[in-house]
Copies of this chain bind each other. A is one copy, B any other.
Amino acid sequence: MFLEMPFDDIAIGACWTSRGRTITETDIVLFAGLSGDWFPLHTDREYAATTPFGARIAHGMLVLSVASGLIPLPVGRIVAFYGMDRVRFTRPVFIGDTIHARAEVVEKTLREDGRGLLTIFEEVRNQRQETVAVFTARILMQR
């Protein structure tokens, strides 16, 4: 995986696709409890049935959190998870959907402090290869 390579060796355009993970009712209940976000679209079956989605869906932040775990950062060269840009939730994730993440290197910047800033475009897809979320991650690396 490209994150295991030294910053200078990582090629723009390098790609990596993760394993899958099924999003369960348990994940949604646990995330509601951990985040404190009880919005009824995620936690009330009766309410969710009355929305255009028709059923409970995963929190957007849960989808991002799972994606962050699917793309493991190797120890050693990573300094910090710096931030994200243009995070968009493009489709609902329902209970039982299986998502995976795809990461592509889109930019490399040398910073004045000698570190490298890696820009990665990440796409989260479900089992039908539909994109459910996209974002651009910024990761600070040692050189």
Contact = CB atoms under 8 A, between A and B. Distances in A.
Interface of A: 19-22, 24-27, 29-40, 43-47, 56, 59-62, 64-66, 68-70, 72-73, 75, 78, 80-89, 96, 98, 127
Contacts of A73: 37, 39
A46 B128 CA distance: 11
Contacts of A47: 19-20, 75, 98
Contacts of A65: 31, 34-35, 37, 59, 61-62, 65
A38 B36 contact: yes
Given A21-B43, A84-B84, A96-B45, A68 B37 contact: yes
A106 to B, nearest CB: 16
B64 A61 contact: yes
A75 B34 contact: no
A30 B39 contact: no
11 contacts: A19-B38, A20-B46, A21-B38, A22-B45, A29-B30, A30-B34, A31-B34, A39-B75, A45-B96, A46-B127, A61-B68
Contact of A40 (B24, B33, B61, B75): B75
B66 A35 contact: yes
